[in-house]
Structure 1
Amino acid sequence: MTPESRAAEFDAADPLSGYRERFTLPQGAVYLDGNSLGALPRATLEGVCGVLERQWGEGLIRSWNDAGWFEAPARIGAKIAPLIGAGPHEVIACDSTSVNLFKLIAAALAMRPGRKVVLSEPGNFPTDLYMIAGLEAQGLATRRLAERERLAEALDEDVALLLLTHVHYKTGAMHDMAALTRAAHAAGALVLWDLSHSTGAVPIDLNGVEADFAVGCGYKYLCGGPGAPAFAFVAERHHAHLQQPLTGWFGHAAPFAFSDDYAGAPGIERMQCGTPPILGLAALEIGVDLIAEIGVARLYEKSQALSQFFLACLGHHGVALELVSPARSDARGSQLSFRHPEAYGICQALIARGVIGDFRAPDILRLGFAPAYLTFADMAAAARHLAEVLASGEWQRPEFNRRAAVT
């Protein structure tokens, strides 16, 4: 049986197949970059237009009260909470992932006086490491890096915080969140998890593993749009002692009292800083609602099936690329990454054929499997195109090897 025939059988039996029509996707494209930017939900067009035309255009400033703008960060945070195993009062949608990282790293350091080391791993997503460096430059932190297999033994009495990305952005490898959180706590350290490549894609139980802090972005698997607001999680047991360094007016206990002195809001709302970006939050809320409707467990089950089928299709075509993602589907996120010295050219050749993946320097072809809108037929087509690109050598064409701006 051909991959195309098998794909047709799988798609016919797929309980999530109807959700593809809930997204806007270019005709004929196979979109394998949802782990960078999720596809556009069709409901977002009407929803955001309604915010623009009715809430802003007609309601004007009254919409802060009448349309629930004030409550949007906490309301959307409460909707994200079940997707990550948190309580509704422990998550808030605000700022960017980078800003939330800065706030929570600083907060953790303040909660562990006498300790300054923030432990992470080399190759973690750059902004995570850069935010540690920013606090290090102020004399507030000391960065320590340890390879994945040496992280537990690198935890000692100097470590205030363990900062890790749950699903690695480049390889898709997934950390054992429960084991590492236990190890950090045994050493007296706190833990901050970056869930940017996990939320909405793989099951997470922050409270089940007794995580302390977490951040995540809204524009990947949550389909909140480019630059969508991020979110922050703080376990309830830390709320009373939470000191975040960006003491903006929306994190104040009474922002419209206009006091000269800062008094932090109770609970998770203290994590807010400036005025919420209402248009971005409106788009994010629609994406979150859709992903919650589908359910993370079902999405994860399908993403595993998609990735395994894709590998089988490559095998059918005799493609033998080096897989840098874990071979076991339950040890990786919703992506597959392959190493090839000409990965950039291969990626560009695929994009020219309508198979949109991405490249990560220096030699990684990364393909994301967002199961809310991908089909098994997409997997068969993408594998066929990849086989043809490799066999034909079209990746060597000059127009596919210009690395002027790789993001």
Structure 2
Amino acid sequence: MTIPIQSSAADLDAADPLAAFRGRFAGADTDLVYFDGNSLGRPVAAVAERLAAFVHDEWGGRLIRGWDERWMDLPTTLGDDLARICLGAAPGQTAIGDSTTVWLYKLMRAAVDHAVRTDPARTEIVIDTDNFPTDRYVAEGIAAERGLTLRWIEVDTSEGVTADQLRDVVGERTALVVLNHVAYRSAWLADAPALTRIAHDAGALVLWDLCHSAGAVPVALDEWDVDLAVGCSYKYLNGGPGSPAFGYVNARLQGDLTQPIQGWMGHADPFLMGPGYTPAAGIRRFISGTPPILGMVAMQSMLELLEQAGIEAVRAKSVALTSYAIELADATLPEVTLASPRDSALRGGHVTLHHGRMREVTARLWARDVIPDYRDPGGLRIGLSPLSTSFDEVERGLAAVAEALG
């Protein structure tokens, strides 16, 4: 049975208040269908000129003077911009630099060391079995280093961690809870404020991985009383391949945590070059080595677009895009099952469709310039970056999936 489509792509694009933003991304005017914005966002077209100006004027013109004039402070000034535009956080709590993995290690290790120092009975890290692999690997390594135990939450790969599941495992032994705000596989959108309260009621700290939500889903770190958060900038923040990650440390914890990778940039006086390490005040103490300034330049352009659009409007477009993708899949892919929440209030910015042949289908689609990605078991992930994706692109892409499965 064919399910009627409620609206045409042309009508949806015509009514889209954010449609004009699509033309500000490089490559968006081609016939290529890009369904992987939740892995690597398209570049903002203005980045080419911005990078050229940086190379000529700042790097080439100012040379090492650039550190004194702007670059030294960029990890925290850009961090404050990110916090204001996307994270719901006051200034002085967010810094940019290092990779996601390094930030996860620094903040997880700092959190468990603080917890154990405060209460030696807190010897467990709570994490779920479908958490992003890097998070799980880092947690395993820290547990081995510190003689701690991992307490696993078993979750369905088409869902995510619920309040009841977390409540069942946290307790007086819990040092740290590590959770994804949006599950990388299913797009399950966790109830962050409720889960944070549950962790706090048990006396534990909580670290949120925002990699699949920052820039697509509104976040309110201060309002939710989050302790720690980490996220990348190459997905919905469109910073480019390998662009630096960010870390958030709630102001109430900054003086209590000892970050484990003590580098010169986190020193109270980086140019003192003295024999001992004295941590800088505030969020700066969580910076380790020389920050990747070039990697921050592209991110500035995307943050400007997000501020112009407004994160709530971006979220509304994201919900509309993913809902349309599900509607098309229901109508044209009867043999496919939805491996993401159908309720948009429980769904982040992507949709996963399940079929036993999706690995093969993904390869076929890539060969014809339709670019989703594949995640086991049998999941075709459709990542729809709101400002650079049109409804027409979604329609063309889902038609290509139907052909590849046919």
Deviations for 1:9-31, whole angstroms, at most 9, x for unmatched residues?
11111110100111002610111
Residues 79 and 289 of structure 1 are in contact (CA less than 8 Å); yes or no, is this contact kept in structure 2? no
Please state how far the C-alpha of 1:244 moved relative to its aligned partner: 0.4
- Indicate the larger mover: 49-58 or 99-108: 49-58
| Aligned length in residues | 390
2:211 paired residue among 190, 196, 205: 196
Aligned position for 1:39: 42
Deviation at 1:3, TM superposition (A): 6.0
What is the distance in 2 between the residues matched to 1:288 and 1:260?
39
Counterpart-to-counterpart distance in 1, 2:214 and 2:401: 28
| Residue 139 (structure 1) aligned with residue 146 (structure 2) | yes
The equivalences for 1:91-240 within 5 A come to 91-113=94-116, 114=120, 115-147=122-154, 148-149=161-162, 150-240=165-255
Structure 1 residue aligned with 2:88 = 85
**Equivalent residues of 1:4, 1:380 under 8 A apart:** no
TM-score (norm 2): 0.93
Structure 1 CA distance for aligned equivalents of residues 111 and 312 of structure 2: 31
Q: Is contact 1:229-1:284 (8 Å) kept?
A: no
CA distance in 2 between counterparts of 1:47 and 1:3 reads 42
The runs of 5 or more residues in structure 2 that have no matched partner are 155-160
Counting aligned pairs with the same residue, the percent is 40
Structure 1 unaligned regions, length at least 5: 392-407
Structure-2 separation of matches of 1:319 and 1:70: 55
**Structure 1 position 313, deviation (Å):** 2.0
* Alpha-carbon contact 1:25-1:39 (below 8 Å) kept: yes
SS in 2 for 1:138: helix
Alpha-carbon distance between aligned partners in 2 of 1:304 and 1:354, rounded to the nearest angstrom: 24
**1:341 aligned partner:** 356
Name the CA distance, whole Å, in 2 between partners of 1:290 and 1:93.
19
Aligned residues of 1:32 and 1:368 also touching (Cα < 8 A): yes
Alpha-carbon distance change, 89 to 327 in structure 1, aligned in 2, over 3 angstroms: same
Q: 2:72 aligned with 1:70, yes or no?
A: yes
User: Structure 2 counterpart of 1:293, which letter?
Assistant: Q
| More displaced 10-residue stretch of structure 1: 287-296 or 359-368 | 287-296
CA distance in 2 between counterparts of 1:130 and 1:164 reads 13
Instruction: Quote the RMSD (CA, aligned, Å).
Output: 1.6
Whole-Å Cα distance in 1 between the matches of residues 204 and 51 of structure 2? 42
Q: Contact 1:334/1:370 (CA < 8 Å) preserved in 2?
A: yes
Q: Secondary structure at the match of 2:255?
A: helix
Residue 34 of structure 1 and its aligned partner are, at CA, apart by 0.5
Find runs of 4+ consecutive structure 1 residues off by over 4 angstroms.
1-5
Aligned equivalent of 1:397: none
1:302 aligns with 2:308: no
Q: Deviations over 1:196-221 (max 9, x none)?
A: 00000111111111110000001000
SS of the counterpart of 1:71? helix
TM-score when scaled to structure 1? 0.93
